[in-house]
Amino acid sequence: MLDKLRNIGIIAHVDAGKTTTTERILYFSGSKHKVGDVDEGNTTTDFDPLERQKGITINSAAVSIDWGDTSITLIDTPGHVDFTAEVERSLRVLDGAVGVFCAVGGVEVQSETVWYQANKHQVPRLAYINKLDRTGADFFGCIQQMKDKLGILPAICALPAGEASQFKGVIDLIKMKFIWKDPKDKTHVKYELVDIPEEYKALAEEYHNQLLEVASHADDHLLELVLEGQPVPEEMLRQALRTGTLSGKLTPVLCGSSKNFHGVQLLLDAVVDYLPSPLDRPPVTGLIPKSKDKEETQRKPDPNEPFAGLAFKTISESTGDLVFVRIYSGQLRPKDDVLNTANGKHERVARIFRMMGDRRDSLEVAGPGEIVAVVGLKQTHTGNTLCTANAPIALEDIRFPEPVISQAIIPDRSTDETKLADALGKLVRDDPTLRCRTDPETKELILSGMGELHLEVSVEKLMRTPGVKVTVGRPQVAYRQTISKPVEVETRFIKQTGGRGKFAVIYMRFEPLNKDQIEEWAAHQEEQGDKPDPNNLYFKDEIFGGVVPGEYIPSVEAGFREACAKGAKYGFQCVDMQATLLDGKHHEVDSSQDAFKLAAIECTRDAQLKAGITLLEPIMNVVVLAPAQYLGDLTRDISRRRGEILNSSMDKGRCQLHAYVPLAELFGYTSELRNFTSGTASFSMEPSHYAPVKEELADLRAAS
């Protein structure tokens, strides 16, 4: 029954307690008899040796539980910004999510990032404030940060009875009861609903009334009862909260201490009561492949509809790829033949599994709304649509950010080149934010990713392949370049070699694009059903009278793009440019597609040198947390790194510094920060934007 199914993700900043919360959920649901611990390295979802070694989540992992008569598929996602692709692809296929917040840290940088990622995918959410037993916990401060930073209307459904060392448990504001747990009960399963302790009754009454007021935004009948001063039935309140959650008008807020087993059962009840089933989500929309006008079609979560699913994650294994699929309609069985509309290939399903961390439970059939792992698909990658061949549909692909940092990989002499190539291919296929290429000049293998930790983890995965041993060079920043001003250039590409020559004359205009122009182009591409160019390189054809025949114009665009792949001066990717073909000439015999492509390459390079180059560097959004006495040192250090300080704040003896800092200045920052703050500071960073490098630094940066 689809109304008894929930697909949810746990999303949050690193170290907010996502994995611990997941472990407690598994324990309370009866899926585990012994609870796991992150510090001991025995959790269900962090089963990869690298995750246990580093004590962080690197890969999103799925588990399935039953809570009452509801089946819940839960995906625990990474909190570190370097692994944001795992969050992105998980949110793309989930129906709901739980945002976990640390009661001490509040709404941290990555918490904001993943919250707005969920906004983009229109995923209904709950908020869960964790670690209320920690020193410095501030429940109401965290609520205020949610209002200010996330722009939500919080529906506070639970209150903490005390905070930090005074934390006693959780008050349920819907039942208006205190959830009491016997401290002598080592199973942590037995709870009782008792009267709210006297010292918290007034506060609970105040916030219960506030909850009714917030819930009234989603239910006019409830509003009438509140205005008339009549009691509101508990079921009506829950239904109003559900309606408000699904519409995005409000966000239910729960609280607890997952490590100490407080509040998790209430959170599970809220998942069932307020988050959507597949039936509550709109039908999925896609395009009919090869239709003339890019005709759209829909799939409803109905087992009788044609099968349609989205592959959102792959894991390369020695026995074949494990492909994670979200099923949107129809049913999938072993030995089924499915069509991959991304490449037009037919695939045969060998086996289907429901995942429980690294454990696999075999299934004979999987239906709409389910998230399963499939074995047997040989040519299916992340973002591919799988469907019934006689009712094809192409769902929207999953888009990932471009890498911002690179480093050279140097194979050991004993390394088998074939094994290295295979291992790199699998690594890049499984992680869409990784790129691997060979530098045409140095012949070095270059691996690009989202951050130092991302590259470090990727190289460690590579080294686990038998027969592969590599060392790495210093990480390099992925600079970009663009032209400094508009220019017009004529290129005459005329060569005679005795036989048929090469003849192409083109006259082109090149312009740098500003933010508004880029957004305008992107909107135009969306209207046409095309993907916006990730490098914002756009080509216009303004040829009149056929002076350049139509069959040569695609070659001109291809030459423009090829020349932009490695800029004329610095050798980095060109971005944010528009090229317009204005005029040209051709020869009936000597002109060819190749001649016009070569002319466009030459024309583009000449334009870059004529217009002048602006080198662009990635700027990171950095937030540093430290004891207040280090604020001056932090400010001076950020300024030394060419950073722009946006704001700073002080709260309870700790300072927070928010700044934009060039990525090139942040290598090794973790160890340096620990050194001058005696290990008391922490920081997080995420890619923000690209900005011009000052002229005196440009040549130095490009040379390094």
Tell me which residue has tokens 């609903």.
193
The reply to whether CATH 3.30.70.870 applies to domain 405-477 is: yes
pLDDT at position 23, please? 86
Cβ neighbours of residue 186 under 8 Å, at least 6 residues apart?
none
pLDDT at position 336, please? 93
- What's the CATH number for 481-611? 3.30.230.10
**Residue with more model confidence, 28 or 170:** 170
Tell me phi and psi for residue 687, to 5 degrees: -60, 135
Instruction: Return the structure tokens found at 312.
Output: 């959102």
Q: Which among 306, 268, 336, 300 is positioned nearest to 2, based on CA atoms? A: 300
pTM of the model: 0.74
* 219-228 average pLDDT score: 89
* 40-44 average pLDDT score: 53
Q: Which among 138, 167, 153 is positioned nearest to 211, based on CA atoms? A: 153
pLDDT in tens, 56-79: 666 677 888 889 899 999 888 876
How far from each other are the two terminal CA atoms of the chain, in whole angstroms? 60
CB count, 10 Å around CB of 388?
18
The pLDDT-based confidence of 290 (bands split at 50, 70, 90) is confident
Given a contact cutoff of 8 angstroms between Cβ atoms, the answer to whether 367 and 392 are in contact is: no
Does the structure show a pLDDT above 60 at 319?
A: yes
Does the structure show a pLDDT above 90 at 544?
A: no
Q: What gap in Å lies between CA 84 and CA 86, rounded to an integer?
A: 5
Amino acid letter at 231? Answer: P
pLDDT at position 556, please? 95
* 37-47 average pLDDT score: 53
pLDDT at position 469, please? 86
Pairing of β 445-449 and β 191-194: unpaired
**Residue with more model confidence, 421 or 605:** 605
* 509-521 average pLDDT score: 90
* 9-32 average pLDDT score: 82
Tell me phi and psi for residue 512, to 5 degrees: -75, 145
Task: State whether the Cα torsion 7-13-17-19 is positive or negative.
Answer: positive
pLDDT in tens, 200-215: 999 999 999 999 999 9
CB count, 10 Å around CB of 62?
22
Instruction: Return the structure tokens found at 380.
Output: 């299916």
Does the structure show a pLDDT above 60 at 81?
A: yes
pLDDT at position 31, please? 65
Strands (E), 316-467: 322-329, 337-340, 345-348, 351-356, 359-363, 371-375, 385-387, 394-395, 405-411, 435-438, 445-449
pLDDT at position 7, please? 92
* 7-21 average pLDDT score: 85
Q: What gap in Å lies between CA 275 and CA 254, rounded to an integer?
A: 13
- What's the CATH number for 284-395? 2.40.30.10
Tell me phi and psi for residue 653, to 5 degrees: 80, 5
Mean pLDDT of the chain: 86
Tell me phi and psi for residue 597, to 5 degrees: -65, -45
> Partners of 322 in the beta sheet?
315, 375
Q: What gap in Å lies between CA 493 and CA 502, rounded to an integer?
A: 7
Of 157-171, 258-272, 350-364, the poorest mean pLDDT is in: 350-364
- What string of DSSP letters covers 589-637? TT--HHHHHHHHHHHHHHHHHHH-EEEEEEEEEEEEEEEGGGHHHHHHH
> In CATH, which of 3.30.230.70, 3.30.70.240, 3.20.20.140, 3.40.50.720 is domain 618-703?
3.30.70.240
**Residue with more model confidence, 358 or 55:** 358
Q: What gap in Å lies between CA 258 and CA 311, rounded to an integer?
A: 32
> In CATH, which of 3.40.980.10, 3.40.50.1370, 3.30.70.1150, 3.40.50.300 is domain 2-280?
3.40.50.300
3-state secondary structure 261-328: CECHHHHHHHHHHHCCCHHHCCCEEEECCCCCCCCEEEECCCCCCCCEEEEEEEECCCCCCEEEEEEE
Amino acid letter at 186? Answer: K
Q: What gap in Å lies between CA 417 and CA 165, rounded to an integer?
A: 57
The pLDDT-based confidence of 276 (bands split at 50, 70, 90) is very high
Amino acid letter at 437? Answer: R
Cβ neighbours of residue 498 under 8 Å, at least 6 residues apart?
none
Pairing of β 371-375 and β 322-329: antiparallel
pLDDT in tens, 627-661: 888 899 999 999 999 999 999 988 777 888 999 99
Pairing of β 96-102 and β 125-130: parallel
Let me know if the fold of 405-477 is the same as that of 618-703: yes
Cβ neighbours of residue 529 under 8 Å, at least 6 residues apart?
287, 294
Task: State whether the Cα torsion 425-429-434-437 is positive or negative.
Answer: positive
**3-state class (DSSP) for residue 417:** helix
Domain ranges across the chain: 2-280, 284-395, 405-477, 481-611, 618-703
